[in-house]
Amino acid sequence: MMDYTSTEMMTIAAARALANDDVCFVGIGMPSAACNLARLTHAPDITLIYESGTIGTRPEVLPLSIGDGELCETALTTVAVPEMFRYWLQGGRITVGFLGGAEIDRYGNINSTVIGDYDNPKVRLPGGGGAPEIATSCGQIFVVMKQGKRSFVDKLSFRTSLGHGEGHNSREKLGVTTKGPNMIVTDLCIMRPEPETKEFQVVSIHPGATREEIIEATGWDVQFADKVEETLPPSAHELEALRALNARTAAAHGEQA
């Protein structure tokens, strides 16, 4: 019997993808949890950057938003937002962008704008913020999202952030030189783009999850790599660090967390 949740497995699997020397542009929510867990475990020297201009931040609790004072208080420095985007992001100084979204398609394109028709949507979402620029300017992109047919869709309601476009060399045709989405981590599996088509395929399945669950939770005809591994279960150290972080966050923010 597993002594951890699927959300904990997802967060830990995402954190493992980060290296100690990465400079990482962090999204709020699950991306923030994964990036800070990496910092608290195997990557203590990772540089975390948030959209508000905080560089090298080391928060004790997870921020509620990019404007959370915790980020500025623990940062090495804070710069103006125009400098953050023009010099740091568009200047090619950030190795990894960690994003989430409301919808994602088989090529890693992300929607965080609307669900349904743009002019008369079912749901109006917060919007892109800096995500479109992050998706094209960071060295590579990691995505962390819970998997389900409402979020892993065959066709996006709106393309907020570019992934691999229509597949193959779509990014290059648009003049985008960065690698783009290189990994999707869900509560069921890990996906990576097929080298030629750039369609995301399952490369690792989390303990306890099945191919049938993954197929049922995906809005397109999901493909599996020729060799599919089982994700390494969370270690005691990883679980302890993540649970302590979540406990501090809950104590600091209460119901808002």
CATH for 6-251 is 3.40.1080.10
Question: Stretch 197-218: mean pLDDT, rounded?
Answer: 98
pTM, full prediction: 0.94
Element housing 142 (H / E): strand 140-144
Q: Tell me the per-residue pLDDT of 24-61, one tens digit each, with 9 for 90 and over.
A: 999 888 999 999 999 999 999 999 999 999 999 999 99
The answer to whether residue 255 is catalytic is no
Contacts with 215 (C-beta within 8 Å, 6 or more apart), sequence order:
222
How confident is the model at residue 1, as a pLDDT? 63
Catalytic residue, candidates 8, 51, 70, 133: 51
Q: Tell me the per-residue pLDDT of 135-174, one tens digit each, with 9 for 90 and over.
A: 999 999 999 999 999 999 999 999 999 999 999 999 999 9
| Closest CA relative to residue 188, chosen from 13, 1, 3, 36 | 13
Centroid of chain to Cα 96: 10
Percent of the chain with pLDDT over 70: 98
Q: Tell me the per-residue pLDDT of 100-116, one tens digit each, with 9 for 90 and over.
A: 999 999 999 999 999 99
Give the pair of three-digit tokens for residue 100.
């989430």
Reduced DSSP (H G I as helix, E B as strand, rest coil) percent helix, strand, coil of the chain, to 5:
30, 20, 50
> pLDDT grade, residue 257 (50/70/90)?
low
Percent of the chain with pLDDT over 90: 89
How confident is the model at residue 69, as a pLDDT? 86
